[in-house]
Amino acid sequence: MKKAIVVIITVLVLLAFGLAECLFVKNIVTNLDNSVGELLGKYEQNKDDVRNLIVDIDSIKENWDKHENTLCLIFNHKDMSVITDGLSRLKSYTINNDYENGIVELKLLKTNTEKQPHVMGFNIHNIL
Amino acid sequence: MIYTLICRSLIVFLTVFLLIRFMGKRQIGEMQPFEFVVTLVIADLATIPMSDTALPLLHGIIPLFTLVCLHYLLCLLSRKSILWRKLINGKPIIVIGTNGVDYEALRRLNMSFNDLIEGLRTAGYFNLEEVLYGIIQTNGTLTAVPRAPYAPLTASDMNIEKEQATLPMIVFAEGKINKENIGIAGIDSSWLALQVKKAGLNGLNEIILITLSNTGKLYIQPKNKPFVVYQSNYKGGSW
């Protein structure tokens, strides 16, 4: 009986953990994707001088860094570093007003943030 | 990184150890097919996040807990339902019957005659004619029932009265009294010390092991002397 209770509690904890993870990840990644989308629009409007967008990039980076440690408990660190490195490179290009490289990096980042919910989420492709 | 690996190894080891203990002793000895699969997968799962620090430890631990829950469910099903037991564990198959070796049964089990004879030797029989029934159990072991002329003689065959087997309990080991066991036996340390003196030894300080059987027989092993068996007047052995 004791074992049955332990197993039931374990199953409930696993299910609750899975649900919390789904909601948490969806929230963070969706926010990041929206922010990157907005930044992409602004970037294309400010082709001549992208340096004034550094505040937006810092804000996105700060928000990502804040959640990165928690996400590291759940996800492969290599998947996480793709976004972290992308944001760092984007910041560097923006400081140097390098629109060409900046927009490429931003588009890559957008692709990555778009596919993250799929990579990290619960779906048939990941199961199989 | 080294500290990380050490901590991860400790966590994974303790988790796997606790889970294997939770699954029960049967897991280590006689395994059913599904238990064998669970054990193999657990061993593999545990080692991946232990060495790959890019993977969160949870990637190893969550599947472990999932497998243990699954193992419990399968054990429960095989305990409660005959149909599930057959599905999960299979059923024992008679490979040697009254007419001799059942070749069809051997073929279904993917066993050769060599495997069968090897199994019989392990069971203590060296000739096929000695065995009346040979059964392959669900965990893969061969159990043999000998024909009457080859069955070992027992005391009841000879109408001999034998002393009942006893179950000895460690009451003193390596300088320490086992409080739990002397509690079960209903004795105390002074009684034990007195028995040691009665057995011709100086005292508990020169003893490394004492066991007490439920008929009151004491096996006393001194540190540097031969063992002594002493029959005490103990009468309370009902464990």
The complex's ipTM works out to: 0.76
Alpha-carbon gap: A83 to the closest alpha carbon of chain B (Å): 15
- The answer as to whether B50 is a domain residue is yes
In chain A, residues with a C-beta closer than 8 Å to the C-beta of B62 are: 14, 17
In chain A, residues with a C-beta closer than 8 Å to the C-beta of B59 are: 76
pLDDT reading at B166 higher than 80: no
Residues B71 and B107 in one domain: no
Domain positions in chain A are 24-127
Residues B12 and B69 in one domain: yes
Please, which pLDDT band fits residue B25 given cuts at 50, 70 and 90?
low
Please, which pLDDT band fits residue A49 given cuts at 50, 70 and 90?
confident
* pLDDT for residue B105: 92
* pLDDT for residue B29: 53
- The answer as to whether B226 is a domain residue is yes
- The answer as to whether B19 is a domain residue is yes
* pLDDT for residue A53: 86
Residues B52 and B70 in one domain: yes
* pLDDT for residue B85: 85
Residue of B nearest to A76 (CA): B55
pTM attached to this predicted model: 0.67
In chain A, residues with a C-beta closer than 8 Å to the C-beta of B76 are: 4
pLDDT reading at B238 higher than 70: no
Alpha-carbon gap: A8 to the closest alpha carbon of chain B (Å): 8
What number is the average pLDDT over the span A27-33?
A: 87
Interface test with A, best of B11, B58, B64 (most A CBs within 10 A): B58
* pLDDT for residue A89: 92
pLDDT reading at B237 higher than 70: no
Write out chain B in H/E/C secondary structure.
Answer: CHHHHHHHHHHHHHHHHHHHHHHCHHHCCCCCHHHHHHHHHHHHHHHHHHHCCCCCCHHHHHHHHHHHHHHHHHHHHHHHCHHHHHHHHCCCEEEEECCEECHHHHHHCCCCHHHHHHHHHHHCCCCHHHEEEEEECCCCCEEEEECHHHCCCCCCCCCCCCCCCCCCEEEEECCEECHHHHHHHCCCHHHHHHHHHHCCCCCHHHEEEEEECCCCEEEEEECCCCCEEEECCCCCCCC
- The answer to whether B222 and B228 are in contact (CB under 8 A) is yes
- Could you read off the pLDDT of B173-227 as tens digits, one per residue? 988 899 998 888 889 889 999 999 998 888 888 899 999 988 888 999 998 889 9
- Beta-carbon separation of A77 and B54 below 8 A: yes
The per-residue pLDDT of chain A, averaged, comes to 86
In chain B, residues with a C-beta closer than 8 Å to the C-beta of A78 are: 54
Please, which pLDDT band fits residue B114 given cuts at 50, 70 and 90?
very high
How many domains does chain B divide into?
A: 3
Question: Which of these three, B65, B86, B107, is where a domain ends?
Answer: B86
Residue B207 sits in a domain whose CATH number is 3.30.240.20
Residues B19 and B68 in one domain: yes
* pLDDT for residue B7: 76
Alpha-carbon gap: B227 to the closest alpha carbon of chain A (Å): 43
Question: Which of these three, B59, B86, B113, is where a domain ends?
Answer: B86
The residue among A11, A116, A15, A99 whose CA lies nearest residue A53 is: A99
C-alpha torsion B141→B147→B150→B154, nearest 10: 90
The per-residue pLDDT of chain B, averaged, comes to 85
- The answer as to whether B191 is a domain residue is yes
Q: Residue B141 CB: number of other CB atoms within 10 A?
A: 13
With a pLDDT cut of 90, the percent of chain B lying above it is 29
Nearest CB partner across the interface for B56, out of A6, A7, A72: A72
- The answer as to whether B208 is a domain residue is yes
- The answer as to whether B173 is a domain residue is yes
pLDDT reading at B21 higher than 80: no
In chain A, residues with a C-beta closer than 8 Å to the C-beta of B65 are: 10, 14
Count A/B contacts: CB-CB distance under 8 Å: 33
Residues B19 and B78 in one domain: yes
Alpha-carbon gap: B24 to the closest alpha carbon of chain A (Å): 11
A31: its two tokens: 């926010």
Residues B111 and B73 in one domain: no
Q: Which of A76-80, A114-118, B121-125 has the highest mean pLDDT?
A: B121-125
- Residue B180's domain comprises 169-231
The residue among B197, B66, B238, A38 whose CA lies nearest residue B218 is: B197
